[in-house]
Structure 1
């Protein structure tokens, strides 16, 4: 099944002082995508207001989420959203939540804080918890995800509240060393899903192999294992959608060095053979 691309150069969900690099990263990826199947969401220029909440820049985040949600809802093919920060997944995943869809969340951070537990107020650290039903009211899906349909893969930087939440749920967790094609297939099959949404925060990768990040975490997933795992998932399961986020090159040289990895991941997401 063909896929379409949606460029979402959002930076407002990031808590990093380097957040504006995410805009450059999204634009760099956009330059290597086919224009005929690539659309764009306009992101507000202003940072946005918290709207009386503890979530930074919530007004802009809400605007972007609504625009992404509208695009994904109208699409007839799976949409691969290109960030920007991983907060863009609030609008991208909500429309495809269904009993037959599992979400594989490749990320160095679990993004399972709530507005009350977040140490930073940055939505990027709350987005998965929001999709599970605990987050800013205007960003929580009408029918939230079930933890049993989520596979957290490659995470290695947990806050205490996130660890407590995981201890209380049946969410499958694969550490970086467990991210293999076989283990990923086994985890998704255990959910009973026939379709899969693949979220990729590029900080899931080992920073020794990929430098263009705002929040690198050591001892990540090797590129070859991530590519092989995604390819296996898309061969076995129908792709419901995907997101690639957190590409933040510091300069043109870093972008050129790391773009081949991004393109390998896009190829893996779109490589399913016709049957």
Structure 2
């Protein structure tokens, strides 16, 4: 996994309920992302940040037909549509798309772009299931809905921008430990594979990650990797908006991403770094380290 790589920043916090995650792309760049990628023999180019409407001028109550309770959904749709084009064009140009968030709602665009001309699987490293829909969400925050959105669940089935054509049987959620009751029921009725923190406790991170990668690669053309920094324990990654205790350790996270790099990964995003809540840019530095592991960095 070396060669051309395109960095795409998406400074969006419209999908979250805490400000600051829009500064994530800048914090990750400042933490030395470009140097790490060059050291790995990639040829990185940075296209900068996609324009994103600020919440102060957006309309949280404007909704599409049949989208229900989803804040800033019109603005999220616009950003994700443009991001999908950018990711698709990057792949068509023979480069690897590395997307920097921003809140996790941007994954709707990343997955759609990666899946536009291919059958892909998705590995979702996250504390949360992100399987709410506008009808089930307790908050209305779209960063709690991207998996449901790109799979066309609920109201998203009728939208012309969210469903990506990904087979749910090729989606694996890893390290989940915060699930709403409605999400639990919906996941039980879906073909999505869920590996909770209890599975990692019982089986170990490498076995769980290998199984997740097998799910995502079964009959597909490649894998999209989505890394939410709240997947890690807050003691490791304090700069996130929705921390949940009991996450993976520093070494477990690296072990998982090192295994991931051995598979056919075609696109990746790193999201939910919030510098306002961070300590000395520690979470952004961790994001750079983990992205490097996911792109092939080894100890020896």
TM-score, scaled relative to structure 1: 0.89
CA contact (8 A) 2:99 2:110 kept: yes
Aligned to 2:107: 89
Deviation at 1:26, TM superposition (A): 2.1
Within the candidate set 8, 11, 17, 2:10 is matched to: 8
Aligned to 1:152: 173
Distance 1:44 1:257, change over 3 A: same
- Alpha-carbon deviations, 1:56-87, whole Å to 9, x = none? 11121111112101111111322111001000
Distance 1:123 1:93, change over 3 A: same
Within the candidate set 132, 135, 138, 1:119 is matched to: 138
Deviation at 1:172, TM superposition (A): 1.6
Aligned length in residues: 267
CA contact (8 A) 1:202 1:246 kept: yes
Aligned to 1:48: 59
Q: Distance in 1 between matches of 2:283 and 2:289?
A: 10
Within the alignment, does 1:68 sit opposite 2:83 as a pair? yes
Residues 82-231 of structure 1 mapped to structure 2, 5 A cutoff: 82-97=100-115, 100-134=119-153, 135-136=155-156, 137-141=159-163, 143-177=164-198, 178=200, 180-191=205-216, 192=218, 193=220, 195-231=222-258
Deviation at 1:169, TM superposition (A): 2.1
Q: Distance in 1 between matches of 2:169 and 2:268?
A: 19
Q: Name the SS of the counterpart of 2:259 in structure 1.
A: helix
Gaps of 5+ in 1: none
Distance 1:37 1:171, change over 3 A: same
Within the candidate set 250, 264, 267, 1:238 is matched to: 264
34-43 vs 221-230, greater mean Cα deviation: 34-43
CA contact (8 A) 2:27 2:275 kept: no
Distance 1:270 1:249, change over 3 A: same
Aligned to 2:38: none
Name the Cα RMSD after superposition.
2.2
Q: Name the SS of the counterpart of 1:59 in structure 2.
A: helix
43-52 vs 105-114, greater mean Cα deviation: 43-52
Deviation at 1:165, TM superposition (A): 1.2
Q: Distance in 2 between matches of 1:99 and 1:148?
A: 16
- Alpha-carbon deviations, 1:137-165, whole Å to 9, x = none? 14322x42222101110111111111001
Distance 1:212 1:194, change over 3 A: same
Deviation at 1:47, TM superposition (A): 2.8
Q: Distance in 2 between matches of 1:153 and 1:166?
A: 13
CA contact (8 A) 1:103 1:149 kept: yes
Q: Name the SS of the counterpart of 1:5 in structure 2.
A: strand
CA contact (8 A) 1:181 1:230 kept: no
CA contact (8 A) 2:27 2:281 kept: no
- Alpha-carbon deviations, 1:145-203, whole Å to 9, x = none? 22210111011111111100111123221122516123211232245145211101111
Q: Distance in 1 between matches of 2:105 and 2:195?
A: 22
CA contact (8 A) 1:181 1:233 kept: no
259-268 vs 157-166, greater mean Cα deviation: 259-268
Deviation at 1:262, TM superposition (A): 1.4
